[in-house]
Amino acid sequence: GLVGSVPLKTIAERASLSPSAAHNYLASFIRTGMVRPDGRGQYALGPSLAALGMTAVRQMDTYELVEGAALRLRAATDLGVAVLIWTEAGTVIIYNRPGSPEGPFELRNGLVSTAWTGGGNVFIAYLERELTTPVVERELGVSHDECTAVMNSIATNVRNAGYAICDLKQIPDYRAISAPVWNSDGTIAYALTLTAHKDAIDTSPTGPHVTHLVRAAAQLSHTLGAPQSVMRQAVE
């Protein structure tokens, strides 16, 4: 086993990842405290590993598939793309690339809002409430009943459409569209997201951006072995 600090090359080899893919993982883990840099090119376990649990680690064998899907989606739309997962700490961006041309604001990997991101809204819609409610209550600073009402509204909208549309509170005038990606066991694995200035992103149901996103999420779910019944039930 590996003990103490480990160089990037060794991490990539042990995880069967390319160095660039391993670096992307480590960047997100550092921002959430799961990993800490320890000397030049060395990495060690960080203080938040227990809080984040092993959710992100279980995604590593599918990371390159997800990265490829995100890059193809970016090429098809010229919009920014992001991949998000759910952890015990909340919603985490593990991968993102800016649109073309790049805007004045930059998404960063790491922990983000659940109530005010497209990916977070997808998790509100499709994850068990005992997982998401405590996180959203802390974000909104409202009563349990008020939080439940907000989450019910978000979940209804997402389930009716099959994807989330959300104005990004932390990035003024930016909007996101996000769709669920499903695992072979029928649970949600990722939220695949398009993001851009609200004047550059088409959120109409039959527009090119929604069409490309939903198709990409469905194709990736199929690649991961998701049951067709789960993908059909995602839209109610």
Question: pLDDT over 90 for what percent of the chain?
Answer: 56
pLDDT in tens, 36-85: 887 767 888 776 654 454 455 455 567 888 999 999 999 999 999 999 99
Distance of alpha carbon 153 from alpha carbon 22, whole angstroms: 37
Distance of alpha carbon 231 from alpha carbon 236, whole angstroms: 10
More confident residue, 122 or 45: 122
Compute the chain's Rg from CA coordinates: 17
pLDDT at 122: 98
Distance of alpha carbon 191 from alpha carbon 181, whole angstroms: 6
Q: Domains along the chain? A: 6-52 (1.10.10.10), 60-233 (3.30.450.40)
From the number of C-beta atoms within 10 Å of its C-beta (0-12, 13-18, 19+), residue 227 rates as middle
- Note the pTM of the prediction, 2 decimals: 0.74
pLDDT at 48: 62
* Dihedral sign (CA 43, 49, 55, 58): positive
Q: How many residues does the structure list for the chain?
A: 236
Residue 87, C-beta contacts closer than 8 angstroms, at least 6 positions apart: 32, 51, 52, 53, 55, 56
For tokens 């092993």, the residue is 54
Contact (Cβ atoms closer than 8 angstroms) between residue 207 and residue 191? no
pLDDT at 49: 58
Evaluate if residue 170 carries a pLDDT over 90: no
